[in-house]
Amino acid sequence: MPRLARGVRTRFDPTRQKWIVLAPERLFVPDEIAFEIIRRCDGTATVGAIADDLAAAFHEQRHVVLKDVTALLSDLAEKGVVVT
């Protein structure tokens, strides 16, 4: 059940009109899909549940979504943004 790592938080930036991910010594602007994944990493939803939710919300095939979610989360875990 992925969650944001200690010290990582998201906020909407009124200057840039974008969601930002803030982490120790780094910050980045996720694209829309990445942000939809990140904001579901609340420590209670499984990777499967996140994929279910996104597939339903965006009318996409679940196996395609699951692949994207898994790839993004493994990248974010490597960077220390998400803990799985």
Partner 1 sequence: MIDPPLAVLAELTHRCPLQCPYCSNPVELERSKTELSTAEWIRVMREIADVGALQVHLSGGEPMARPDLDQIVAAARDAGLYSNLITSAVLLTEERMERLAGAGLDHVQISFQDSEPARADRIAGYRGALAKKKRAAEAVRMCGLPLTVNLVVHRQNLTTLEDLLTMAVDLLPQRIEVAHVQYYGWAIRNRAALMPTPEQVRSALETVERARERLRGRVTIDHVVPDYYGRRPKACMGGWGRRFLNITPSGKVLPCHAAESLPGMVFETVRERTIGEIWRDSPAFDAFRGTSWMPEPCRSCERREIDWGGCRCQALAITGDAAAADPVCDKSPDHVTLTSLTNQALAEGAPDLVYRRYGARAG
The residues of the shown chain that bind partner 1, judged by CB under 8 A, are 5-7, 9, 11, 13, 15-16, 20, 22, 24-25, 27, 77-80
Rounded to a whole number of angstroms, the minimum distance from the CB of residue 48 to partner 1 is: 20
81, 23 contact by CB (below 8 A): yes
Rounded to a whole number of angstroms, the minimum distance from the CB of residue 6 to partner 1 is: 4
State the DSSP code for 8. Answer: -
Compute CA 19 distance to the chain's CA centroid, rounded to the nearest angstrom: 12
Question: Looking at the DSSP assignment, which residues form a beta bridge with residue 11?
Answer: 20
Rounded to a whole number of angstroms, the minimum distance from the CB of residue 72 to partner 1 is: 15
